[in-house]
Structure 1
Amino acid sequence: MPRTIDWYRRLLVVVLLLPLASMWLVPFSDTSEPRYAEIARLMAQTGDWITPWFRPGVPFWGKPPLSFWAEALSMRYLGVNEFAARLPSWLCLLLSVFILYRGLRILRGRRVAILSALIYATSTLVYVASGAVLTDPFLALGTNLSFVTFAVLASEHRRQCATQAFSSRLLLFCRIGFFVGVAIGLLAKGPLAAAIILVPSACWCAMEQYANRPQPRMAWAKGLLLAALISAPWYILAEFKTPGFLDYFIVGEHIRRFLDAGWHGDLYGTAHREAYGTIWLYWLQATFPWGLALLAMLAASWRSARVRGVLRPLRHDALFPYWLAWAAFTPLFFTFSANILWTYILPAIAPLSVLVALPIERLLVQGCITRRHLLPLFVLVPVAVLMWTGIAWHRPDTLKSERGLVRYALQRGNGHIPLRYLGGPPFSAQFYSKGTAEAVGLSALAAGEESEGLAFVAIPKDEAGRAQAALGHQLNVLYENRRYLLVRCGSSTQEAILPQEPRQRVAKHLPKNRS
């Protein structure tokens, strides 16, 4: 068995290192990643660590700043690039896996610990989010810290764990760590994080009280005060600096967004309106392949006495209601929410990993399965993402990304010729141009071609016909990606600023100029 555990550890190291490839090679693709990366870039550029800015002059009230702080610091030291912006999310994955492994090793031994860590790291949403610029990995770090530390405290008062006893230092760390996790969640996602952490824990405590069993010693008043002292100063400073933040963030983002399917108050995008219950479809996607594996084991228990024999003792596990409460609360909470994303499932994946690891460990011990049966499940998502990374690296312009177009324009213009986007630049263009890409309207483009200096203009492909008619001449396409055509506009007397280029073919979907 020690050799088997070493094999799982080596596999875990490989799984954790593989996201570095996509972090380095894959460009930002609109909308979420470059939007958050641009907010962090502005924070690093301006040195404003209180208010995240959506664009100069427009504060971003949609999320707390923890992820932006980490990404801005990373860009300050590693440069403004994809890898620097994504690195903090990957570090959150490492910390989450470490916390989960250490906690489960104390509670259930090495085999369950390494299996839980591997299952967590190879779940689709966890693996994808670990190499992306998102706020959710920071939320997961906070929820996982609280989830594991409370489980240790709950096990200590029941005296059921893999070790003989807990040290006083460990218990103190867990009591503090639980509330530090709450503070991390408040700074990463907001009050929703406190609900995700406190409600399942409170439900388990209520069940224990109903059964007349002693409660974990938590010092709730002092702990919540600690969480408030860590997180509240930023909320106060943010409201003082940009009045209206608390009303929008607390009432709008945390109440109206989820209860009003037609909420139009989103200042930074569009509400994601879905049918009630869609969160469970997202659960299947986010937890793949392990959510399906758990459902398969439950289905097999109806037909196989051997599988029932494996699963039955798990119901008598003292912490089974705790694992279940944590795993079920998040999808249940969002079942009747109108505006949801699949990333909302992330806090539920760590407890789900434990629920899957416990029966798998028993199946391995009893010889029902071997590690060869598990290997395809462990490598399925990492290999799929690695293959997608190769495709995206080989053909980056198939993505909704402006990296290639912006770099082409900046290199051709030597930084002296402006880049403009008809209708406004997308977030990836803002990031890669470091905020220099400008917006231009069709009438302004036509009116200013002869009166203004030379400029590169990115025209949406579905607007190419109208742009050509407004300009009155054929468009000479310099660069083409998935969404835009890059053309050169301006006074003909300034054409010599650019080196002569070979004549480009006119995109086949453009009408010929008949004037």
Structure 2
Amino acid sequence: MQRFSKGAWLTLAAVLLLLPISMMIIPLYDTSEPRYAEIARIMAQSGDWITPWFSPGVPFWGKPPLSFWAQALSMKAFGVTEFAARFPSWLCLLLSNGILLAGLRSLRGPRVALWAAIIYSTCTLVYISSGAVLTDPFLALGTTLSMVSFAMAVQHRHPALIQAGDQQRKSTSTQNESSSCWWQYGFFLGLAIGLLAKGPLAVVLSFVPVVVWYALNRKSIEITKALPWGKGLALIAALSLPWYILAEIKTPGFLDYFIVGEHFRRFLDPGWEGDLYGTAHRQMYGTIWLYWLQASFPWGVLMLAAMIGALRSSRLRVAMKATSDDPLCSYWLASALFTPLFFTFSANILWTYILPSLAAFSVLMAIFADEICSRFNLSGRRLLSVAGVVPAVMLVLSAIAWINPDLRNTERSLVRYVMQRDEATVPLFYLSKPPFSAEFYSAGQVREITQSELSQAVEVGTPFYLAIPKSEQKIVADILGKQIDELYSNKRYALVRVPSIKGTPPPTSIQGSLQKTEKIVR
């Protein structure tokens, strides 16, 4: 046990500490990450903590503000960098691990708790999203807190759920009895976090497994007495309701778009055209299960392999039977399966939707791993080596992105090239709507210019930089009347410097930008 614990703790620490390396060196790739990072940057700059802004004059109604609050505060503390934008997601991973370790230590003992934290942290989707600028890690934090808190509250109310004869678990439970009140309110705190991170969907994802588990155990469980429902619901209302009210008052129409559009039309209408901030992600029904395999890799594949192997191996069947005998097994199973089942018949889905279900899956996998190791006298080293697969791959991909950041769509290098030219009066224009990464890395200083405006702007005395879509280089060459002298290029754009040519004044729409004297800042 001691040797396993030392190796397991070192593995978990290495996994968690490797992630910030990727967070610092990988650029923000369009579109999701820089879009959310730019929203947070605008919030930090403007001081508007009620309404996230998609662009000047356009409120972002797609998500509640919890992640943007955290990212904006991080930028105020660490500066406007990739690390600052991603740091809150990493904190969510640390907090989720703390919840799993503290709760499962009482419920199943320290080995299972440690396995659960390692498995959860090294699932592909968890590892990637915990180092990315997304809202989903905050939703997962809330649902994980609610899930573990409910299990702890029920255990306190019904001590018989602790397996008979397991003195270590009984002792641990007695020691933690003083913290039972915290766990009871932790369930409702998790719901409030989910409401402020993703919306009402968080309540559905947390409540349905509770209802399913109660339906299977209603003769022996008093669920109404396990939690302080009155005070708990009041806590949720006090924490989350004020923002929803203020958001509707400040930008009328928010509740209709967010509650009805984002939570019903998006999933029921495969061709929903009401999305104000992107495009519908239409997929075949059932695609969520393919996403589940990707999101849970390598542990999901390992679990499926074990289930198939159990058809022939009696030893694996014994371990699976022991896992299913856990008093809370049906609750963990309902929490792990409800999310993919919920989205099975939804066409507009992303693989990030799987994230809230992975904590419960990790608990089940941890119980199974512990049974395998303890019943068959295995050290656990081979399973610990599986935990290194995803971090190792991500470290390699991070090194590739550091060497060649323009392999994917990002404007970091192009914008920095302009910044390093040290020409304070020369603005940067995009001959298209500037990508979100350009907005973020230029601190909102880049501007769009149309072809008609460009034909007039070349006559202006003030020079400017122009990022041209590679498919439109010939058009721009015709407008300039000469061959393009390319200064820099990335995957999407070629950068040129339009020299000063005295002539007619610029169009009003770009005159202000051309006259700016401040330097584009990071």
**Coarse TM-score class (shorter-chain normalised):** over 0.9
The one-letter code of the counterpart of 1:22 is S
Structure 1 partner of 2:500: 491
Q: Among 367, 388, 391, which residue is 2:397 paired with?
A: 388
**Shift of residue 357 of structure 1?**
1.0
SS in 2 for 1:459: strand
Structure 1 partner of 2:456: 447
In the alignment, the residues of structure 2 paired with residue 444 and residue 72 of structure 1 have an alpha-carbon distance, to the nearest angstrom, of: 35
Q: Among 363, 369, 372, which residue is 1:360 paired with?
A: 369
SS in 1 for 2:465: strand
SS in 1 for 2:482: coil
Give matches, 1:229-378, under 5 Å.
Answer: 229-367=238-376, 369-378=378-387
Q: Please give the root-mean-square deviation of Cα atoms over the aligned residues, in Å.
A: 1.4
SS in 2 for 1:48: coil
What is the TM-score with the length of structure 1 in the denominator? 0.93
Mapped contact 1:89–1:131 kept (Cα < 8 A): yes
Structure 2 partner of 1:504: none
Mapped contact 2:39–2:54 kept (Cα < 8 A): yes
The one-letter code of the counterpart of 1:163 is K
1:214 aligns with 2:222: yes
In the alignment, the residues of structure 2 paired with residue 37 and residue 14 of structure 1 have an alpha-carbon distance, to the nearest angstrom, of: 27
In the alignment, the residues of structure 1 paired with residue 221 and residue 255 of structure 2 have an alpha-carbon distance, to the nearest angstrom, of: 40
**Shift of residue 208 of structure 1?**
1.5
**Shift of residue 28 of structure 1?**
0.7
**Shift of residue 173 of structure 1?**
0.5
Structure 2 partner of 1:133: 133
1:146 aligns with 2:143: no
Cα shift readout 1:352-401 (whole Å, capped 9, x = no counterpart): 00111111111111236442321331100000000000000011122211
Task: Tell me: CA distance 1:406–1:253, structure 2 relative to 1, closer, same or farther (3 Å).
Answer: same
What is the TM-score with the length of structure 2 in the denominator? 0.92
Give matches, 1:15-164, under 5 Å.
Answer: 15-159=15-159, 160-161=161-162, 162-164=169-171
Mapped contact 1:147–1:178 kept (Cα < 8 A): yes
**Shift of residue 241 of structure 1?**
0.4
Task: Tell me: CA distance 1:369–1:493, structure 2 relative to 1, closer, same or farther (3 Å).
Answer: farther
The one-letter code of the counterpart of 2:129 is A
**Shift of residue 212 of structure 1?**
4.1
Range with bigger deviation, 185-194 or 148-157: 148-157
The one-letter code of the counterpart of 1:417 is V
| Structure 2: runs of 5+ lacking an equivalent | 163-168, 504-522
**Shift of residue 196 of structure 1?**
0.6
Task: Tell me: CA distance 1:366–1:474, structure 2 relative to 1, closer, same or farther (3 Å).
Answer: same
1:186 aligns with 2:186: no
In the alignment, the residues of structure 1 paired with residue 464 and residue 253 of structure 2 have an alpha-carbon distance, to the nearest angstrom, of: 39
Range with bigger deviation, 217-226 or 66-75: 217-226
Mapped contact 2:323–2:371 kept (Cα < 8 A): no
Mapped contact 1:451–1:490 kept (Cα < 8 A): no
Mapped contact 1:450–1:490 kept (Cα < 8 A): no
In the alignment, the residues of structure 1 paired with residue 425 and residue 135 of structure 2 have an alpha-carbon distance, to the nearest angstrom, of: 35
Task: Tell me: CA distance 1:369–1:463, structure 2 relative to 1, closer, same or farther (3 Å).
Answer: farther
**Shift of residue 168 of structure 1?**
4.8
Range with bigger deviation, 85-94 or 451-460: 451-460
1:403 aligns with 2:418: no
Would you say how many aligned residue pairs link Structure 1 and Structure 2? 493
In the alignment, the residues of structure 2 paired with residue 17 and residue 204 of structure 1 have an alpha-carbon distance, to the nearest angstrom, of: 36
Mapped contact 1:186–1:231 kept (Cα < 8 A): yes
